[in-house]
Amino acid sequence: MADLFTGELHVRERLELEAHADTCARCDSALRDLATISVSLDRAYAPLRQRGTLLSPARVRLAARLEPRTVVPWWRAGFVGRLSEATMALGFAALVLGGSLDLAVKPDAIPSASTPSIIKDYMRTQPPYEEAAYVRWLRFQLRAIGGASAPAVRYPVGGQFDVEQFTSDDASFNTGAPR
């Protein structure tokens, strides 16, 4: 009977059911109740159906490049890998101590010379909230990934997935996206 309200009933079945309800008080009442519930559910979700989000695809691309963070050790993941929580903690610790992080890490974990300070890097890796600034920031991050000082990050998703299969030149961000 609920099929009547989920669009799953053929016209003929529907007519038969309605004809039966005309002569049967119990079915008639059950049908009315189901109609009430269907309409109530529809109304209850109506405000939600009008909600949307202004999320940008740039957010997705960045997330796709950053995850899964646990697989790639942060000191090998290059620039963006430093977004990892451990690194944030280290960044804070270094801030608190007022010293360079270089003193706090083992020699083999020291960032290459082209990335001067992990504290500055950490600050730079904070995404700005505003959209245009965010895209600028993102381009900067992606350039950093592709840079010689930072090895490409590879993600093992269902086997092999090479992140470099996607170009990160600026043109790919001028999407002319509808607003």
Partner 1 sequence: MTEPAAKRSTQNEERRTDRELVYAARAGDMLAFDALFYRYRDGIFRLGLAITKDPSHAEEIAVDTFSRAYRALARLEPEGSLRPWLYRVAVNLSYNRRPRKGVILSPLEDSANDTFQSEDRSPSVLAEQAELRRIVLAAVDTLGPKHRIVVVLHYMNGLNLAEIAQVVDCPIGTVKSRLHYALRRLRAHLSAHPEFGIEPMTLLVPTSRRMVAPAVEPLPGEPQ
- Report how far residue 134's alpha carbon sits from residue 161's, in angstroms, rounded to the nearest whole number: 26
21 vs 153, which CB is nearer to Zn ion?
Answer: 21
Binding flag, residue 27, Zn ion (CB under 5 A)? yes
Give me the residue label for tokens 């977004």: 83
Q: How far is CA 97 from the centre of its chain?
A: 34
All residues at 6 or more sequence positions from 60 whose CB lies less than 8 Å from its CB, including other chains: none
Residues that bind partner 1 (CB under 8 A): 1-3, 5-8, 17, 20-21, 24, 26-27, 29-30, 33-34, 36-38, 40-53, 55, 57, 59-61, 63-64, 67, 155, 157-158, 161, 165-167, 171-178
| Paired tokens of 33 | 């109740």
Computed over its alpha carbons, how large is the radius of gyration of the chain? 28
- Smallest distance from partner 1 to CB 79, Å: 19
Closer CB to Zn ion, 29 or 112, in the complex: 29
Candidates 1, 15, 19, 24; binder of Zn ion (CB under 5 A) is 24
Determine contact, residues 119/91, Cβ cutoff 8 Å.
yes
Binding residues for Zn ion, per CB under 5 A? 24, 27
